[in-house]
Structure 1
Amino acid sequence: MIGHSPGPRGWSDRIEETLIALLLGLMTAITFANVVARFMNSNILWALEATVFMFGWLVLLGASYAVKTRSHLGVDAIVNMASPPVRRVLGLISVGACLLFSVLLLKGAYDYWAVFADLPPTSGRWFPTGFEEKFRSQSFYEVDDIPMLPFLGFLEGLINYGDEYEKLPKVVPYLVLPVSMLLLLFRFLQAALAILRGDEDRLVASHEVEDELNEVRAQNGERD
């Protein structure tokens, strides 16, 4: 199965898992700290905004993680009726459409994030044909509540022309947009290679749950 190779897993197999685990831990810790603060008639002003951003990261990173683990929903009634060669062709058509869609998402995600990073967005309506020569930088845009983190001070000279940030610049939380779409494209490329090699014949898992239930029923019948 895609993302479940028998050999040792490399760093690329653990990208989403590590980030998701870290984000869940931080969300839990911040929420718990804010609850305790409220009992003490205080409040962590930036807690809600931080958890909202981290939840957004979870959702976007979860898209590529679901591709890796083959957890996306899919209808394979017709695929199961086809012969193995036809199933492979249908699988390649499906992954080709997903790759095309991922490229479009990556372009849109980068173009949206780039102006916050003082970078030029891409030109071209659908596919990138270069970079825009003139664009309006939005690198000075900040979030509402999260204070500027000291270790990110280098961004002030890098993209904000030396001006200090009072709050966290939007370029930081919005970085997940191009990163998650790049990961999504990477996972679909992995899926395409698996189908080309003949390791898989589809993007989504087949009726694995039904097969497992049948196995359980068979085992129970044998025991009876």
Structure 2
Amino acid sequence: MQTGQNVIDRIEETVIATLLGLMTLVTFANVIARYVFNSSILWALELTLFMFGWLVLLGASYAVKKRAHLGVDAIINMLSAPARRALGLISVACCLAFSLLLLKGAYDYWAVFADLPPTSGRWFPTGLDWDARSQSFYEVNDVPMIAPLRFLEDLINYGEEYEKIPKVIPYLVLPVSMLLLTFRFAQAAVAIWRGESDRLVASHEVEDDLETARARQGEDD
């Protein structure tokens, strides 16, 4: 179980680092093309925006895992341990409910681009809407189609060729990231229930930095 969790963590961290590196590389290449060769990479801006969206959405669940989201715990620290745990359970329950709503909305938005039926029901899934109009033919504005993705033409576009990347690819991050976010909140809920933690957020970066600065100052003295 721990090995599987480590593999998931490593994949998540690798994807985030790769996205950040590719964003830097594409932006740098576009700057060189514009100011050195008096040209531009037409699809660079759109691709960078997509990668930034992936980075932010995947990073949200990663921050939950690392308990790195910003939070105010001045009142929580004044409470007893049972009270902190109770409030922690209430807060994680709210976050789980919210993430489940986001997951439903994300899947419903993406499904039509994948030629899949979205769910029915306004707030909670009540079934699948098989009458929803497919939007699998929708393409992005600038990023050209690449050969490894040509299989999507037969899979979801009824054999019609894509000139640009279909929207199903960049928008895939929506259900994936919301599923990860829900999973991370569920992990946090289990940790609080077991007494391994009493809150969702444990960010004390300023205090940690001050302690580090004091330690270094002590070494210098």
Give unmatched runs, 5+ long, in structure 1: none
CA distance in 1, matches of 2:73, 2:123: 30
One-letter identity of the residue aligned with 2:159? G
Give the root-mean-square deviation of aligned CA atoms. 2.2
SS at match of 2:127: coil
Matched, 1:22 2:18: yes
One-letter identity of the residue aligned with 2:33? A
Matched, 1:86 2:83: yes
Equivalenced residue count is: 219
Give unmatched runs, 5+ long, in structure 2: none
Matched, 1:72 2:69: yes
One-letter identity of the residue aligned with 1:205? A
One-letter identity of the residue aligned with 2:19? L
2:122 counterpart (115, 125, 132): 125
CA distance in 2, matches of 1:190, 1:167: 39
1:158 counterpart (151, 155, 160): 155
CA distance in 1, matches of 2:147, 2:140: 16
| Contact 1:60 1:180 (8 Å CA) reproduced | yes
Matched, 1:40 2:37: yes
1:61 counterpart (58, 61, 70): 58
SS at match of 2:90: helix
Match of 2:103 in 1: 106
Relative distance call for 1:216 and 1:24 in structure 2 (3 A) is closer
Relative distance call for 1:221 and 1:149 in structure 2 (3 A) is closer
One-letter identity of the residue aligned with 2:144? P
CA distance in 2, matches of 1:103, 1:50: 28
| Contact 1:76 1:206 (8 Å CA) reproduced | no
Shift of 1:203: 0.3
2:170 counterpart (157, 162, 173): 173
Relative distance call for 1:184 and 1:105 in structure 2 (3 A) is same
CA distance in 2, matches of 1:69, 1:43: 39
Relative distance call for 1:15 and 1:212 in structure 2 (3 A) is same
CA distance in 2, matches of 1:54, 1:42: 22
CA distance in 1, matches of 2:215, 2:40: 56
Identity of aligned residues (%): 74
CA distance in 2, matches of 1:40, 1:222: 52
Relative distance call for 1:167 and 1:159 in structure 2 (3 A) is same
| Contact 1:64 1:187 (8 Å CA) reproduced | yes
One-letter identity of the residue aligned with 2:16? I
